[in-house]
Amino acid sequence: MALKLRQAPESEAIGSGQEIRQILFRTPKGRVYRMLFTIEADEVLVLQVRGPGEPPVEPDDLSPN
């Protein structure tokens, strides 16, 4: 099965210069989650995992704490 790693809608809205991608996945209980990530060289950096019903990511959500 091929994975579709689409650009996340937040990628352009946040305007960080990095392309933010997303993948949807389903848990064994059937809930769908969305993982936001970037690819840098040969590494994948996971930015957020969003659960069902969560609002879109805001720029402050991706800032380091």
Residue spans of the domains in the chain: they are 1-28
In this prediction, residue 63 has a pLDDT band, given cuts at 50, 70 and 90, of low
CA nearest neighbour of 13 among 58, 51, 64: 58
Alpha-carbon distance 2 to 15, whole Å? 28
CB of 21 closer than 8 Å to CB of 39:
yes
Each residue of 23-57: pLDDT tens digit? 989 999 999 999 988 888 899 889 889 998 888 78
Place of tokens 């990511």: 57
Find residue 33's DSSP bridge partners: 25
What pLDDT, on a 0 to 100 scale, did the predictor assign at position 1? 47
What pLDDT, on a 0 to 100 scale, did the predictor assign at position 13? 63
pTM of the prediction? 0.74
